[in-house]
Copies of this chain bind each other. A is one copy, B any other.
Amino acid sequence: MGMLYNQVADQLQALILDGVYREGERVPGVRVLSRQFGVSISTVLQAHQTLEARGYLQARERSGYFVRRPARDLPEPRMTEQRSRPVPVSAREMTLDLCADEQKRMVPLATAIPHPDYLPVRQIQQSTLWAARRGLETLDYAFPGKESFRRQIAQRMATIGVPVAPDDVLATNGAQEAIILALRALTQPGDIVAVESPSFPGILQALEVVGLRVIEIPTHPSDGISLEGLQLALEQWPLKACVVVPNHSNPMGARMSDERKQQLVSMLAAARVPLIEDDIYGDLFHTGERPRPAKAFDQADNVIYCSSFSKTISPGLRLGWMIPGRHMAAARQHKYFVNLATSTIPQLAVAHFLEQGGYDRYLRSARQHYKESTDRLRSAIARTFPEGTAVSRPQGGFVLWVQLPEGVSGTEVYQRARRENINVAPGLMFSTANKFDNCLRLNGGNPWTGRIEAAVDRLGAIAREVQSGVSPDRF
């Protein structure tokens, strides 16, 4: 966000990271800083609170703000090497129940589900009430999507560089279904599809549903999928599609630059391999402008765009959409075959919410929340996890990718943590083989509470126990 207090906070944070202010030291008072930065006192107070939220400062009564800890700036995780052969995708058991009802009593660090405090509860309730009053209209099939919903989507797509007509939009049960419909439109069972590595587990599950083989392309924690790696795979294998999350990929939060998006799109167009783009985190950028999707650079109608409102308006709506381009007929047919249509009421409600104009206002506050809560989790990890831990620096969304020191099993940490009712996502879930065993994905989208703080402290301790070979029986 371009807000003034954030700029002040960023500069102060940089000073802490540079060692200008060290752990336990008091930072200058508000008047001093107000003069130093040429901003108002209240801006400095907000900057202090922001850095407290990020975990760099601690308020002590009547004494001011103190640097909390040697806030290590953890390095970014390393990229993996490219694997040599495509492999069939098979069920990864651990994925399954992360968001099942039974898990809801655990500390929710596993799932990439937005926290209810940051959802537009009042607005969507009003729009749902509005929708419910439509009576007859709510009871009818909405295939291939309610006109009002598709029109609102077309309007939003235009604002991010993708001008489409309402008829170009297909309503789906979330982005997960959109990706499956895209894969069905483009592939036959046994075909090879390229994905990022680490990859969002839902994408691997989608590949499994359609019976595909996968080739994993190393992905940089900030820059996104390796274009060199992808080029190599294009030369070696008869790829039928490539699935990428160019904006704030899950789990790493990478954002490809416009230039790299353009390269990705033209490289795939030249190879006549369609790109399936998942833009589900696009609206949750932390700073700057709304990043454009790869689809905005698609001259050749070679990109199928998929997204949903599950990370913004509500996961429970199960409402997503896709822009299948020239594959519309095939995508429509598959949608009809798998479940006929997407539920009508959620479409009417979201169309109404978007039409009312409250969505962008809501997004502004949600983005700020997620930036702060993710920063704060990042700081807590830096304090509590073992030396040698690396962590992603996401530019959007609300998950963190944690790479434990070599040889420390994230799977072991995951298992021990679950016994203590702390739920995290083990790195193994994000690949088709035994990659990323020393990784974890943590949900940074929770409001910071004592329960979360204690859980992260405990996770760090568990990681250190696993590192030093301490048996869990001793605790």
Contact = CB atoms under 8 A, between A and B. Distances in A.
Contacts of A139: 116, 119, 121, 124, 314-317
24 contacts: A96-B332, A99-B341, A101-B142, A116-B136, A119-B136, A125-B133, A125-B135, A129-B132, A129-B133, A138-B314, A139-B315, A142-B316, A173-B339, A176-B339, A177-B338, A177-B339, A315-B340, A316-B344, A316-B345, A317-B343, A317-B345, A318-B340, A339-B339, A345-B346
B180 A338 contact: yes
Given A91-B333, A314-B138, A338-B177, A125 B121 contact: no
A143 B209 contact: no
Given A333-B91, A340-B176, A121 B96 contact: no
Nearest to A146: B101
Interface string A90-106: 01000111011100000
Given A101-B142, A139-B317, 5 more contacts: A96-B332, A139-B314, A173-B339, A316-B341, A318-B342
B174 A339 contact: yes
A42 to B, nearest CB: 32
Interface string A167-195: 00000011011001000000001000000
A147 interface: yes
Interface of A: 91, 95-97, 99-101, 113, 116, 119, 121-122, 124-125, 128-129, 131-133, 135-136, 138-144, 147, 173-174, 176-177, 180, 189, 202, 205-206, 208-209, 211, 314-319, 332-334, 336-346, 349
Given A129-B132, A135-B125, A337 B205 contact: yes
A143 B316 CA distance: 9
A316 to B, nearest CB: 4
A341 B111 CA distance: 14
Nearest to A207: B337
Given A176-B339, A318-B341, A101 B135 contact: no
A368 B280 CA distance: 47
A9 to B, nearest CB: 30
B121 A136 contact: yes
Contacts of A96: 332-333, 336
A456 B55 CA distance: 74
Nearest to A319: B343
